[in-house]
Amino acid sequence: MRTPMTPVLLPQVSAVGDGFVHPAYRVWRVAWRQLWPAIATIGLCVGMQASAAAADRSAACVQFDTESLAIAVPLTACESTCDERGNGRIASPVNERLVEVVIGVSTMLRYGHEQQVRQLLFVIESPARTMSVVDFSPRTELTTSYAGNIDRTEQQDRSTSAGLNATLTPPVDFGTAQANASSGLKKSESVHFQSLPPMELLAASGTASRGSAVYFKFRSSPQSTLEGHRQLRVIFRVPSSWRGDYVYVRCAAFDQDGGKDRISPICGSSDFMVPLFLAGDDAARAAAIELGEAEYRLRQTARSTSIRIEDNDDPSWTDKVNRFLHVTKKPAPGVPRQWLSTVLTSQPEQRDFAFQERLPASVQQAVLKFAESRWQLAQLNQTQTLDAWKAVAKHEQP
């Protein structure tokens, strides 16, 4: 059965003779049958993108930033024994020491309202697990909207009654007699006391990844704000020959509705590499600065090329339509979608990658520079120069 053609899309071709169909009519009919699924898919994707954009405009968007470099200050013997609350710490062995790192993070609400953001999450981790977390701050904190204890009053009334009713009916000649008796007791009790106010979570922190990472959660409340700058303090246990390393700082913001109006409950996320160097060690500081610059150039080069990181290996309908229409370029054959994440989170001693030769020339140079800078910083921990020993001894003086 032939599908009736729409007069707007198909040209009006006059037939010559009974049963004769013009060749142009047949060409348009075949083209229409082949193209209408793509046209329908494009319309569906455009509608979905418009709905997603409307939902994103109604939600909040959070942007994060952090320092490009952090100093690791060695703790003295007294500072290594007790923490800021006076609690005892496990003493470090002879071949290890404790260093304190303070990383500042900033949060900015680009659009939306702060009431739409439920909590912030920050994770500081040592990807190579060369450092272990000993202490951290801020710690878990609870808050309440009440100024003091809550007064409560409970009142209870008890009532007891007893009664007797009797009716005597003698012979009619003597009349009718009735007798009533009742007794009642009422008791009232009132109890007045104070109760503690209900507490809500304001901040939470703890270790993760078997002690090689630490997380910080901050909840919104009427007495505090999620925007602005805050400092995250971590004390790591490192080898005695430690001079420099790096950590990853992962940031995420979660909305109040849990992602009901969005694809994901996350309304903003970022990850940063923060190189560390021992205070007073100029060679380690120079190596850390070089690693930070190499990591930044690698990200910028990857962003400027057609190869992009895909968080999900399964492409969306939008990606399929774009590839069908040749709007975007597919990754080069043999290059994983998460190639940049693979490079950044690899071990410090890894300097070559299987897919490296299939990357563009500019990206290859950026990957080589980053791997070389990271390896140079890691090599500093193998030997400790005399100047580094003097710098450490200077900071460890009481």
pLDDT tens digit sequence for 184-223: 666 677 777 677 777 788 899 999 999 999 999 999 888 7
Number of C-beta neighbours around residue 393 at 10 A: 11
And the tokens for 274?
Answer: 């923060």
| Structural domain total, the chain | 3
Q: Is residue 389 part of a domain?
A: yes
Q: Are residues 93 and 229 in the same domain?
A: yes
Q: Are residues 291 and 353 in the same domain?
A: yes
Which has the closest alpha carbon to 112: 52, 60, 57, 152? 60
Cβ contact 199:178 at 8 Å: no
Q: Is residue 102 part of a domain?
A: yes
Q: Is residue 5 part of a domain?
A: no
Q: Are residues 243 and 96 in the same domain?
A: yes
CA dist 211 and 133 (Å) reads 5
Q: Is residue 46 part of a domain?
A: no
CA 55 from centre of chain? 20
Q: Is residue 305 part of a domain?
A: yes
Which helix (H) or strand (E) is 216 found in, with range?
A: strand 213-219
Cβ contact 126:247 at 8 Å: yes
Q: Are residues 275 and 285 in the same domain?
A: no
For residue 138, say if its preceding peptide bond is cis, omega within 30 degrees of 0.
yes
**Which of 230, 261, 279 is the last residue in one of the domains?**
279
Give me the CATH number covering residue 261: 2.60.40.680
Q: Are residues 236 and 177 in the same domain?
A: no
**Which of 247, 279, 311 is the last residue in one of the domains?**
279
Task: Tell me which residue range forms the domain holding 302.
Answer: 281-398
Q: Are residues 135 and 177 in the same domain?
A: no
pLDDT of residue 11: 46
Q: Is residue 44 part of a domain?
A: no
pLDDT digits (tens, 9 = 90+) for 280-338: 999 999 999 999 999 999 999 998 886 443 433 445 555 555 555 555 555 555 688 88
